[in-house]
């Protein structure tokens, strides 16, 4: 495990938050959420959570006539307010390399972007040459897309690529693993190992089965240098969507919340209602309901263990009116999410939010528009932790690595747009001196004064994939860049740690170990031959 100092973390971008809601509107929504939790309250399908709520002053009764194993819980507003106030406003998410740690502070709008979802489909991109029927000497390159089912090899490849993308700050598995040897009993250990072995950034995921938690935690402890190292700077964290909207606390997910909080690891309390079906489509109704669900979930974490690190996880979507599928590329998606960021800031809890999702099925103009639409506005909102931001297509059904490369470039430009202005008395005086010098010279140009600004990071570069002629070659250039990134040395764990993990953790697929060893051998052989190429996982 690399030496770690908690004061070292990724820079992100600190923004001046764009806010849709006035202070009065925030308080109205807060009050509306508390009124929902008081009446009608929630339907809780976990007896342990219901008992805990009752022990702290909630009104709880079992609905024997309507539901088996269901408890109605009505919360006094004081219980919610006191519990939420106990949640920490500031904590660190660790990483294998200390410079990749994340500092989450609810009162500092420092924005981080990461991947997310668990898409079933990987979209591979290749360029094909076609000859014009009008001019045989004219050849045009066009992309060809192939759908592949997600597996551990592709997830490993995604993690390696994401480790190289400079504007991706954390890794949430973007791909479901569907290898023949994967079962519910070993799904968690394999997805966490594939992720941790291939990225040095923070790793976060949901937990498929509660019984797998101890093995996942033990794996992370081996990597972090022991239990104290993991708790001191957790290299992993978890996501729990504890509510099935509207207002129904899920039994098995609640049990996972108990276990993760008791293990002392960070947790996202996530809610994802759909406006128009499982939540009101109107802004006020959607935001009041999702906020109520998140507040109830955060209250549970703080009643389990006061001070448990938790993120306010807002993932609201809107229904399409033709088929009731999720609709991401619409203005309401931004409106819901920005409101939730403001509420998280009101409660002083770091916010896990959503951007970079659209309805396009392949990279192109529609995908660029839909993603930019949310990337920019959610970054402007000041959400600390924005997932789904890289590579997703067809809502959250597909992950495309070349799209992740395109998203990385787009997010880099957004970070440049939103950086803090460097304006002050000393800066102004220095600029006035420069103006006088230039105007006193014979050439009267500022070109000689650019380098200092470039060294200070104040000058952005041109679009990485810009075309030089009359052809649009963005996708082709992005694919070439992706291939160069994938040809670099993979950031695998030390082989001694890998061996210990495979010795102690049951259920890991042998192919993951063989792939690690084979890639290292192949990389070293290629380096010795002064030739580097890409090995594709299948």
Instruction: Tell me the sheet residues that pair with 61.
Output: 72
For the residues 204-211, what does the mean pLDDT come to? 97
Q: Is the pLDDT of residue 394 over 70?
A: yes
d(CA 177, CA 153) in angstroms, rounded, equals 9
| pLDDT at residue 451 in the model | 83
Are the C-beta atoms of residues 393 and 121 closer than 8 Å to each other?
A: no
d(CA 457, CA 419) in angstroms, rounded, equals 10
Q: Which of 65-69, 221-225, 389-393, 408-412 has the lowest mean pLDDT?
A: 65-69
Q: Is the pLDDT of residue 121 over 90?
A: yes
Q: How confident is the model at residue 72 (pLDDT cuts 50, 70, 90)?
A: very high
For the residues 523-530, what does the mean pLDDT come to? 45
For the residues 89-117, what does the mean pLDDT come to? 97
* Dihedral pair phi/psi, residue 341, rounded to 5°: -60, -40
The pLDDT tens digits of the residues spanning 464-514 come to: 888 887 778 899 999 999 999 999 999 999 999 999 999 999 999 999 988
| pLDDT at residue 256 in the model | 98
Non-local (6+) Cβ contacts of 87 within 8 A are 298, 301, 302, 307, 308, 309, 310, 347, 349
Q: Is the pLDDT of residue 532 over 60?
A: no
d(CA 344, CA 360) in angstroms, rounded, equals 30
Bin 118: left if φ > 0, else alpha if -120 < ψ < 50, else beta: beta
| pLDDT at residue 530 in the model | 34
| pLDDT at residue 349 in the model | 98
Q: Is the pLDDT of residue 6 over 60?
A: no
3-state secondary structure 498-513: HHHHHHHCCCCCHHHH
The pLDDT tens digits of the residues spanning 333-347 come to: 899 999 999 999 999
Q: How confident is the model at residue 520 (pLDDT cuts 50, 70, 90)?
A: low
Q: How confident is the model at residue 533 (pLDDT cuts 50, 70, 90)?
A: very low
Q: How confident is the model at residue 524 (pLDDT cuts 50, 70, 90)?
A: low
Q: Is 3.20.20.480 the CATH number for 15-87+107-122+150-420+464-538?
A: yes
Q: Is the pLDDT of residue 12 over 90?
A: yes
Q: How confident is the model at residue 522 (pLDDT cuts 50, 70, 90)?
A: low
CA distances to 80, 179, 307, 310, 501 from 83, in Å: 5, 42, 9, 12, 38
Are the C-beta atoms of residues 393 and 360 closer than 8 Å to each other?
A: yes
The pLDDT tens digits of the residues spanning 232-291 come to: 999 999 999 999 999 999 999 999 999 999 999 999 999 999 999 999 999 999 999 999
Pick the closest to residue 383 from 21, 115, 166, 110 (CA basis).
110
Going by DSSP bridges, is the β-strand pair 121-131/139-149 parallel, antiparallel, or unpaired? antiparallel
DSSP letter string over 262-290? HTT--EEEEE--EETTTB-SSHHHHHHHH
The pLDDT tens digits of the residues spanning 218-233 come to: 999 999 999 999 999 9
Residue ranges per structural domain of the chain = 15-87+107-122+150-420+464-538, 425-455
| pLDDT at residue 422 in the model | 83
For tokens 């949430």, name the residue.
Answer: 172
For the residues 139-161, what does the mean pLDDT come to? 94
For the residues 90-117, what does the mean pLDDT come to? 97
**Between residues 455 and 105, which one has the greater pLDDT?**
105
| pLDDT at residue 5 in the model | 43
Are the C-beta atoms of residues 338 and 20 closer than 8 Å to each other?
A: yes
């Amino acid at each position: 495990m690399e030496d770690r100092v908690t004061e070292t973390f990724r820079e992100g971008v600190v923004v001046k938050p764009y806010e849709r809601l006035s202070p009065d509107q925030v308080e109205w929504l807060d009050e509306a959420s508390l009124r929902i939790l008081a009446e009608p309250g929630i339907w809780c399908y976990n007896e342990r959570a219901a008992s805990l709520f009752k022990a702290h002053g909630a009104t709880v009764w079992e609905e024997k006539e309507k539901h088996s194993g269901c408890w109605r819980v009505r919360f006094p507003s004081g219980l919610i307010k006191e519990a939420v106030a106990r949640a920490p406003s500031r904590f660190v998410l660790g990483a294998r390399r200390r410079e990749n740690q994340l500092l989450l502070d609810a009162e500092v709008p420092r924005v981080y972007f990461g991947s997310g979802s668990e898409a079933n489909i990987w979209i591979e991109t290749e360029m094909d040459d076609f000859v014009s029927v009008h001019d045989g000497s004219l050849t045009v390159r066009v992309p060809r897309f192939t759908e592949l089912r997600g597996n551990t090899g592709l997830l490993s490849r995604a993690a390696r690529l994401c480790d190289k993308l400079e504007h991706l700050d954390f890794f949430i598995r973007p791909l479901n693993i569907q290898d023949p040897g994967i079962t519910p009993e070993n799904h968690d250990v394999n997805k966490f190992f594939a992720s941790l072995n291939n990225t040095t950034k923070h790793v976060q995921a949901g937990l498929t089965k509660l019984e797998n938690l101890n093995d996942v935690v033990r794996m992370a402890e081996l990597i972090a240098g022991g239990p104290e190292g993991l708790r001191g700077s957790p290299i992993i964290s978890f996501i729990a969507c504890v509510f099935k909207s509207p207002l129904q606390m899920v039994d098995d997910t609640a049990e996972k919340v108990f276990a993760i909080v008791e293990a002392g690891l960070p947790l996202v309390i996530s809610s994802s209602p759909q406006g128009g079906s499982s939540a009101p489509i109107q802004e006020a109704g959607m935001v009041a309901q999702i906020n109520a669900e998140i507040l109830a979930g955060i209250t549970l974490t703080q009643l389990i263990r006061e001070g448990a690190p938790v993120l306010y996880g807002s993932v609201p979507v809107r229904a399409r009116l033709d088929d009731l599928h999720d609709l991401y590329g619409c203005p309401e998606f931004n409106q819901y999410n920005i409101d939730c960021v403001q509420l998280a800031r009101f409660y002083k809890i770091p916010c896990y939010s959503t951007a970079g999702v659209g309805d396009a099925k392949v990279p192109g103009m529609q995908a660029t528009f839909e993603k930019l639409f949310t990337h920019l506005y959610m970054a402007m909102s000041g959400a600390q932790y924005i997932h789904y931001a890289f590579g997703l297509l067809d809502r959250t059904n597909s992950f495309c690595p070349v799209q992740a490369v395109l998203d990385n470039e787009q997010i880099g430009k957004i970070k440049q747009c939103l950086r803090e202005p460097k304006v002050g008395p000393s800066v102004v005086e220095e600029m006035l001196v420069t103006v006088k010098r230039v105007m006193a010279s014979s050439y009267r140009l500022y070109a000689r004064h650019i380098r200092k600004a470039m060294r200070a990071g104040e000058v952005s570069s041109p679009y990485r994939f810009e075309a030089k002629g009359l052809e649009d070659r963005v996708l082709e250039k992005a694919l070439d860049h992706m291939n160069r990134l994938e040809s670099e040395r993979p950031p695998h764990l030390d082989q001694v740690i890998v061996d210990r993990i495979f010795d102690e953790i049951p259920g890991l697929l042998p192919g993951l170990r063989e792939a690690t060893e084979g890639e290292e051998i192949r990389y070293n052989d290629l380096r010795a031959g002064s030739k580097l190429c890409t090995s594709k996982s299948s």
